[in-house]
Amino acid sequence: MGLGTVVVTGAAGNIGSVVRRALRGEVGRMVLLDRVPLRAEAANEVVHTVDLRDADAVEAALTGADAVLHLGGLPDEAPLEQLLEANVLGTHHVLEAARRARIPRVVLAGSNRVTGFYPTAHRTDPRDPVRPDGMYGVSKAAVEALGRLYADKFGVSVICLRIGSFEEAPTEARHLATWLSPRDAVGFCRAALAAPLSTRFATVYAVSANTRRFWELPAATELAYTPVDDAETYASHLTDLDVPADPEAPQAGPYALPEVTLRHLRP
C-alpha cells in the first residue's frame, strides 16, 4: 500500500494495461483514466472515461491522488496540431491539475524519439540536446519542457521516462538497442512513482539492459531501478540482422525518414 492513490492516464494502452495489472496490488487505490471506457477489475480500482483535452474533467479525476503516471496521448507521428492537442495540451492539463491539487509526484511518459537523430554510434545521455526525429519527438520534447517548468516554478516533483520500444519481445534489428520489456517497463514506472520527493526533476531513458543499447541507463541517484532484460537473448530469432549496421545512421531508424513526417504535412 506504500504508493497510496495513483492515477494512471492512458490506462487502456499497451503500457498502461501492463502497469495496471502489475501495480494494482501495491497501491491503496488506482484511478484509471482513458478516452475509451474501462471496467474496474479489482476492489481498489476506480475508472473514469476522460479526454485529456478536458481540463475540468482531468482535475476532477486527479483529486485526492498521491501520484500520477501520465501515459496518455498520441503515441506516434501525426499532424502537429493533433500532437500539440493530445500530448502537449493534455500534459499541461495533468500538470496543472497536479499543481492545483498539490499532488507531489507526476511521472511523464516521454520518448526516445526526442533524440532520434543522434547516430547509432553515439551513447546518448539525457543531458544531450534534443534532436527529435519528427513531430512526435517535438511534442515529447515539449512535454519534458512542461515537466521542467512545473518542477522549477511550482515545486511539483516530475520524472520523465524516455520510453524505448515497448514490445513483448524484439521483432526487428533496431530493437536489439531500443527494446523495453514489459517487466522493465513496470520496474521503471514503479521506481519513478516511488522515488524520493527530493528528486525535483529527472529525465531518464526507460530501456532494457540491452547489450547494444544507444542510451545511458540512469544512475542509482537518479532512479533506483536497474533493468534486467536484454534483447540480445532474441537476436537469433530476428531475420534482418544481415543488413550491415551504419554507425552514422540515426538511432530512430526508419522513423527518421522524411516520408514519415511528410505524409502529415501539406503537399
Cell of 133: 526525429
For residue 57, is it within any domain? yes
For residue 164, is it within any domain? yes
For residue 255, is it within any domain? yes
For residue 256, is it within any domain? yes
For residue 267, is it within any domain? no
| Neighbour-count burial for 249-266, b at 16+ CB within 10 Å, e otherwise | ebbbbebbeeebbeebee
Q: How many domains does the chain have?
A: 1
For residue 168, is it within any domain? yes
Residue 240: the pLDDT is 72
| Neighbour-count burial for 98-128, b at 16+ CB within 10 Å, e otherwise | bbeeebebbbbbbbbbbbbbbebeeebebee
In 71-219, the DSSP E strands lie at 105-111, 157-163, 165-166, 179-180, 201-206
Q: Write out residues in the chain with pLDDT < 50, as ranges.
A: 1
Identify the domain containing residue 88 by its residue range.
Answer: 5-262
Residue 1: the pLDDT is 45
For residue 247, is it within any domain? yes
For residue 188, is it within any domain? yes
Residue 197: the pLDDT is 96
Residue 243: the pLDDT is 62
- For residue 53, what is the domain's CATH number? 3.40.50.720
> Which residues carry out catalysis?
136
Distance CA 36, CA 29 (A): 20
